[in-house]
Structure 1
Amino acid sequence: MDKAMRIVSVFRFLSIATITTISLCNGNLGVPCEQNERQALLMFKQDLKDPSNRLLSWVGEGDCCNWTGVVCDNLTGHVRELHLGNYYSDEYLNYSLYQESSLGGKVNTSLLNLKHLSYMDLSNNDFGGIQIPSFLGSLKSLRYLNLSDSKFAGIIPHQLGNLLSLRSLGLRSKSYYILDEVGVANMTRLKVVNLRWNIPQWLYTCSNLESLSLYLNLLQGEISSSTGNLTAIVNLDLSANQIEGKMPNSLGNLCKSTVLDLSRNYFNRSVSEILGSLSGCSSGQMESLKQMIFQVHYLIS
């Protein structure tokens, strides 16, 4: 498995693990989905482009809990999750067929009728450069939101900062996002973040952040000393960038880290200098960090 796929797998695993486990309605107690929620999904589909008919099952008066990508609460029938990411698998004979399976079009405001929606994955689709809809910030029950690599563009709406329950946020994209530092900084429960192309300042205020992937982001310059504020970090991936210079002493604050990948960059600081900054960690944490940093140092060249 290559590096990119490993990052996606880790990100998806950590993100899904933060969400309460619920059963597919296919095996529920016979509770059908709510009529208004079924209508909301049908309206959502109307504004989507679906060239490969991925949403072929989304029709008529049937139970929407049985539709492709829809997960309902097994007791109430409320729609809880939308799994509409377009992930490559062996079922595609070639990459062009995979691309044709992308959803596109418009994200309809009918989603606002899904009052119990906690998980939404629209990643790896093709929304043609439209801006991320600001109304998504009104889906207050969302705990997982992944819009990565779906060709959204422009300014990330500050309304996303209203998602106070959000645990996992995926905004990895080739588009240059400008993040509102006040709005998004309100998401204090974030544990998993996957970004591309920039490191917004609000990120360093996420004291509960446990996993941060900035792999292959064309990041340049030195690592910010503010990285040391992320004291809850367990998994930090800054590999395959163009980061150079000295690593800040503040990295010694990351005592909980078990994965710190700084490989394929251009650092000029020795391991002994890094170890000298670990005074804030316990002896057990320091020993773990020593082993981790030596391993990372071996990869840096």
Structure 2
Amino acid sequence: MDKAMRFVSVFRFLSIATITTISLCNGNLGVPCKQNERQALLMFKQDLKDPSNRLLSWVGEGDCCNWTGVVCDNLTSHVRELHLGNYYSDEYLNYSLYRKLFGWQVGVANMTRLKVVNLRWNIIWGTIPQRLYTCSNLESLSLYLNLLRGEILSSIGNLTAIVNLDLSANQIEGKMPNSLGNLCKLTVLDLSRNYFNGSVSEMESLKLSTNDFSGPLSDQLGNFRHLCLLALLSNSISGPIPVTLGNLSFQEEASISENHFNRTLPKTTGQLKMVTAAYVKRIAGRL
């Protein structure tokens, strides 16, 4: 076989291998989604108002792995991710979690293989259904900018696989349950712009701005060595700024202004290398 023929053979092999690889990455090996999970998604859709027809593909006996916003596992065809976040103001989904809780309890929350649920920036209102707290494989949950109310139940501690939890910009109230301490894989927690109260109690990002937290900051906050973003502005936190806060080197931001800290500014705060100057100025102006 001359060089030209060998080159063509190798090229054909690489072409077939590339196509096969792309198919394995983007498809589900020709295996349709699980029937019970397709039905669960259709049940969830029943209680949705979809004025922009974003879920037009969610019909009949089709393969739900090809539906808008649905991502399936390539090998098992189980629904793995649900991306229905709204990034355009006129494409919201309207869903009432008060209405029988049907779609969640019999639908989405029953899909135990779910790892990602993104329903950000819609008009979802009501309380977070207890059944959602049983999704023990869930790694990312975003319900940002909806109309959720009520309290976070202690059973949130069952979400032991959760890494990213964003419940910001809702109307959730009450105290933060101690069971949040069970979420040992949690690295990003955003509960800002709600109505939480009580005292502030490890992670890389902690956003609790614009709530009703009160009482002093715990000295244990300085033990969170990996914390690179701390946002506590616009609460009612009082007492001294913990000396241990100076042990942290924030890589992104530390915002603790618009609270009721006393007039003691610990010397260790000078060790904060990445605190935004504007925030330091605001704090210092109150002292």
Per the normalisation by structure 1, the TM-score is 0.71
Q: 1:25–1:65: 8 Å Cα contact kept in structure 2?
A: no
- Pairing 1:60-139 to 2, within 5 Å after superposition: 60-88=60-88, 97=90, 101-106=92-97, 107-109=103-105, 110-128=107-125, 130-139=126-135
Q: 1:149–1:174: 8 Å Cα contact kept in structure 2?
A: yes
- Pairing 1:114-263 to 2, within 5 Å after superposition: 114-128=111-125, 130-179=126-175, 181-196=177-192, 197-198=195-196, 204=201, 207=202, 209-217=203-211, 223-239=217-233, 246-255=240-249, 257-262=250-255
2:269 aligned partner, one-letter code: I
| Counterparts of 2:254 and 2:93, CA distance in 1 | 31
* Contiguous gaps of at least 5 residues in structure 1: 1-22, 276-285
Q: CA deviation at 1:65?
A: 1.1
Structure 1 vs Structure 2 CA RMSD: 3.1
Q: CA deviation at 1:192?
A: 0.6
Q: 1:36–1:113: 8 Å Cα contact kept in structure 2?
A: no
| Secondary structure, counterpart of 2:133 in structure 1 | helix
Length, aligned pairs only:
251
Aligned to 1:9: none
Q: CA deviation at 1:175?
A: 1.5
| Secondary structure, counterpart of 2:54 in structure 1 | coil
2:255 aligned partner, one-letter code: L
Q: Structure 1 residues 137, 29: closer, same or farther in 2, change over 3 A?
A: same
Aligned to 1:6: none
Aligned to 1:50: 50
* Contiguous gaps of at least 5 residues in structure 2: 1-22, 98-102
Identity level (%)? 43
| Counterparts of 1:187 and 1:230, CA distance in 2 | 15
Q: Which has the higher strand share?
A: 2
Aligned to 1:7: none
| Counterparts of 2:25 and 2:64, CA distance in 1 | 9
Per the normalisation by structure 2, the TM-score is 0.74
| Counterparts of 1:237 and 1:190, CA distance in 2 | 17
Bigger-Rg structure (1/2): 2
Q: CA deviation at 1:247?
A: 2.3
Q: 1:49–1:105: 8 Å Cα contact kept in structure 2?
A: no
